[in-house]
Amino acid sequence: MNQHGQRGGDHGHREGHGHGHGDDLDWAAMADMLELEGETLIPYVRQALAELRHLDPHRVLDIGSGPGVAACRLASMFPEAEVVAVDGEPELLARAEQRAERLGVRLRTRQARFPEDLAELGPADLVWSAQVVHHVGDQQDALRRLAALLDVGGVLAVVEGGLPPRWLPRDLGFGRPGLQERLTVAMAEGFDRMRAELPGSVAVVEDWPGMLRAAGLTDVRSRTFLVDLPAPLAEGPRRFVRRSLERHRAASDEFLDAEDLATLDRLLDPADPAGVDRREDLFLLTARTVHLGRRPAL
């Protein structure tokens, strides 16, 4: 995730799989991480969905559902609705189906590529799309297409931005203090590069509420929800921090100096008592922003 709470610079990059969405990210290879991340950050989804509990939707779309952690929450919250997890990766949709079965919720899945297949997916009363629009070259166009899926009165919820994650004490007891801040900067650099390299990448002022209004929506508001997992971390979130640091280590050679890379190596050493598998002071603090808008009557 970058400084906006988004993933960047730490992506799994494809090596000639040839079934991408136009970018070169191998989302299927990231299935474990995406599911672990979804489960770890579920507190923000729970809080965001509480804001939507007054709705009584007939059809709900989770666009870019990944392995379906939020989609299953939506299905459990709106058991009468047809909830559809939509993603470009069949492997991730299979995970979503397995998850729904395990949890005993009714979930449909549909494979689609964004933005080109979006028009075929509507109509819906609620469209949820978390951490997906920033992977599309033209974000404003993607929002217009998402808004166009809504019936009159329907709600679009787009999760973009928030606060960068924090896991580490400022002073780890070794290395130069402040590694977390430097990781945040590295993530922001990677994110910029990811955006610049997307096909059809269009620069836009990332004023998400303004962009939702430009997509024709009204009653636009943004709410930010905290994920606050204090030390000591349970096994799942601890594994999430390890995986996040591993991805940093793989992607940060050009962004971090030798001392910080050595600090990361020590943190990732399973045998080191000061490493992330063993230390008691790891925590997880982050926030996600949900931008909401409603499709007005014509």
By the rule CB under 6 A, 87 interacts with ligand SAM: yes
Binding pattern for the stretch 91-120 against ligand SAM, x by CB under 6 A and - elsewhere: -x--------------------xx------
Beta pairing partners, 25: 13
Question: Smallest distance from the beta carbon of 21 to ligand SAM, in angstroms?
Answer: 3
CA 70, CA 196: separation in Å to the nearest integer?
28
Sheet with 150-166, edge to edge strand ranges: 108-111, 82-87, 59-63, 124-130, 150-166, 284-294, 218-229
By beta-carbon distance, which residue lies closest to ligand SAM? 88
CA 203, CA 22: separation in Å to the nearest integer?
17
With a CB cutoff of 8 Å and minimum separation 6, the contacts of 275 are 266, 267, 268, 269
Instruction: Out of 65, 109, 140, 244, name the contact with ligand SAM by CB under 6 A.
Output: 65
Instruction: Out of 36, 48, 132, 155, name the contact with ligand SAM by CB under 6 A.
Output: 132
By the rule CB under 6 A, 26 interacts with ligand SAM: no
Question: Smallest distance from the beta carbon of 38 to ligand SAM, in angstroms?
Answer: 5
By the rule CB under 6 A, 8 interacts with ligand SAM: no
DSSP string, 53-94: TT---SEEEEET-TTSHHHHHHHHH-TTSEEEEEES-HHHHH
| Closest C-alpha to 166, from 232, 241, 249 | 241
Extract the tokens encoding 178.
């402040």
By the rule CB under 6 A, 73 interacts with ligand SAM: no
Instruction: Out of 8, 9, 12, 66, name the contact with ligand SAM by CB under 6 A.
Output: 66
By the rule CB under 6 A, 35 interacts with ligand SAM: no
Instruction: Out of 8, 9, 64, 293, name the contact with ligand SAM by CB under 6 A.
Output: 64
Stretch that binds ligand SAM, among 96-104, 129-137, 179-187, 290-298 (CB under 6 A): 129-137
Instruction: Out of 131, 139, 252, 289, name the contact with ligand SAM by CB under 6 A.
Output: 131
20 three-class SS: coil
Extract the tokens encoding 156.
């679009």
| Closest C-alpha to 283, from 237, 226, 225, 242 | 237
Q: How many CA within 13 A on the CB side of residue 195?
A: 19
- The alpha-helical segments, DSSP class H, found in 120-178 are 139-147
Stretch that binds ligand SAM, among 64-72, 187-195, 201-209, 267-275 (CB under 6 A): 64-72
Question: Which CB atom, from 96 or from 245, has the smaller least distance to ligand SAM?
Answer: 96
Stretch that binds ligand SAM, among 126-134, 175-183, 189-197, 251-259 (CB under 6 A): 126-134
Residues that bind ligand SAM (CB under 6 A): 7, 21-22, 27, 34, 37-38, 64-66, 87-89, 92, 113-114, 130-132, 135-136
